[in-house]
Structure 1
């Protein structure tokens, strides 16, 4: 059992790489829950790349004391357009980026041997501007080990962070969507582990089909459904065997079965 929440994050980060093929370049992407000094320090100490959304308004060194005050005073580095997934259109946005450093907030002087730990990393702030309703505005402050020397670097970090939504959506399906593993009533760890392992594969399959239905709705259903699966859908819905159905149509038909 972990003594601190940060221990759980640190262990997960280091364990992940053990299960990846040798030579795989990993970038650890996490939401605000991972914005903990111990997590950031562990990542940097072990030379791991990361993008973590900022949660805390820390005191920073060689700046204007507090992070958000520092960002508010900083000039905009670039204006651009970003695709808003919820609004399904491009919106105006600004981005600022640079380097910051800060010390361990839990540091307490303990004799002459104490060393105050410090992290140095890059920071990026993106904000939507223009005619966007308050509830739909994007405002991210991202902490990263990746280089931020120009807008190309900043754009790359933003794109990487946006991939996190795939992870969010996958776990929504696993925990409370089509799989509902949080409602499992199994009483032993071994049984629960097997149950979650099975439904992890099923959840991935559901999300894969759902994503393709949104990303390529007009493509043929064979892109995400096997010949046998497509045939079953046609038979159950009284569709002619020689009639082409799209991924979107196949997905909608499968929803009738509670997918």
Structure 2
């Protein structure tokens, strides 16, 4: 925290703040959530709530680590943070953090029965439901989740929530084809059936180069290195109305009634030799009856990368795992505050990459005080008319980025360093202003 708050008075004030009993993770989040929900109410477009979890590692913080849950391979200690990020589906602008749940992974007995697991509130699968608790109950809200959310319990919860949803399927579930109850059940497997459907349309997707390591099945053996080459992929899409059948063995709390949803399959047509084809199976309660509707659902899911970038910003930008507090009562509200600060950096970074970045005024998302100080440092004079592009790259320059044509866009660490330095400069200007008034 001393690196984040350079002014000793600000640092002491922050310590006093998080030391108060009423300043909790919940209280800070509730205040921010109120503003976020007001933005959602004013938004003219459907709002995506991007749900995802990330691990926060506090193993090195010996004074507090013993009280935290297991993460990683079981040897580390920390939180599983379930974040729910609100994003305007039309502009892709981040509206705020709709929810954040800090979860302690508990140690479970090896002889825990299926019924005991089903009733245990600390199940990690419950995080998806807990993350949606404060959300609205109308179709303006659209929950977007990756494969981790593919549990029958959560799917049933979403079908009954009043919201729309898009969830990437992880399992080849039993399904009944169609929404009308047939005289004779025509059952199949979700993925098997979807692969028999002809494409209703195609488009081209730019695929970036990526190197990943995949774990073998059942985590036995070494991880396999997989290289994905950059290419222009021809993508096909198909859809169908299906009913998801309840699992025969219940590991969670849910009913037996089939769930009426649509499955949208997206896949790469004729991938390059030796390349694993791209393929998604998306489950949604959005009515899908045309290529346009299917493509819209795919577009919603594609924006899920924003929450992954948010997690990178939390960890490598704001360094949310670095505060050296000795109690959870201080650590948790600090996590909430830094999570909210990350939103400003994310919004600024995304705005700098939009097509209107060179004409949109920086003052729309940045305080004029920060704008004045940075422009004076960069140009020797105050410029209130700076664009977002100009402000962002000046901030990156302050953080050490060279701004050369061949350089990659500034990363999270560079932006955070620039932001820290800019905060110190703003504090210095405030101090000088007070001195002039006194003298």
Short-chain TM bin: 0.7 to 0.9
The structure that has the greater radius of gyration is 2
Structure 2 residues without counterparts, runs of 5 or longer: 1-103, 105-120, 178-185, 210-229, 400-416, 420-439
Q: Larger relative contact order (C-alpha < 8 A, sep ≥ 6)?
A: 2
Q: Is the 8 A contact 2:357 2:387 kept in 1?
A: yes
**8 Å contact 2:375–2:383 — kept in the other structure?**
no
Instruction: Quote how far apart the aligned CAs of 1:203 are.
Output: 0.4
RMSD: 3.1
- 2:282 maps to 1:167: no
Residues 213 and 138 from structure 1, CA distance in 2 versus in 1: closer, same or farther, beyond 3 angstroms? farther
1:95 alignment partner in structure 2:
237
Other structure's SS at 1:4 match: coil
Matched, 1:125 2:265: yes
The correspondence for 1:199, drawn from 334, 338, 344, is 338
In 2: Cα distance, 1:227 partner to 1:102 partner = 53
Give the Cα separation in 2 of the matches to 1:124 and 1:159: 12
Question: Per the alignment, do residues 247 and 86 of structure 1 end up closer, same or farther by CA in structure 2, a change over 3 Å counting?
Answer: farther
Instruction: Describe the superposition over 1:160-205 as per-residue Cα deviations: whole angstroms up to 9, x where unpaired.
Output: 222322222222212x121121333434333223102211221010
Note the 1:1-259 alignment, pairs <5 A: 2-13=121-132, 15-17=133-135, 25-62=140-177, 65-82=188-205, 84=206, 86=208, 92-107=234-249, 116-129=256-269, 138-174=278-314, 176-215=315-354, 216-219=356-359, 220-241=361-382, 245-255=386-396, 256-257=398-399, 258=417, 259=419
Higher strand share: 2
Separation (CA, whole Å) in 1 of partners of 2:201 and 2:369: 51
User: What is the number of equivalent residue pairs in this alignment?
Assistant: 247
Alignment partners' CA distance in 2, 1:55 and 1:23? 26
TM-score normalised over the length of structure 1: 0.80
Cα contact 1:212–1:224 (8 A) shared by 2: no
Look up the SS of the partner of 2:128 in the other structure: helix
Contact residue 58 and residue 67 of structure 1 kept, 8 A: yes
- For the residues of structure 1 that align with 2:156 and 2:248, how far apart are their CA atoms? 13
Q: Structure 1: where are the runs of 5+ without partners?
A: 109-114
Q: Is the 8 A contact 2:244 2:261 kept in 1?
A: no
Deviation of 1:253 (Å): 2.0
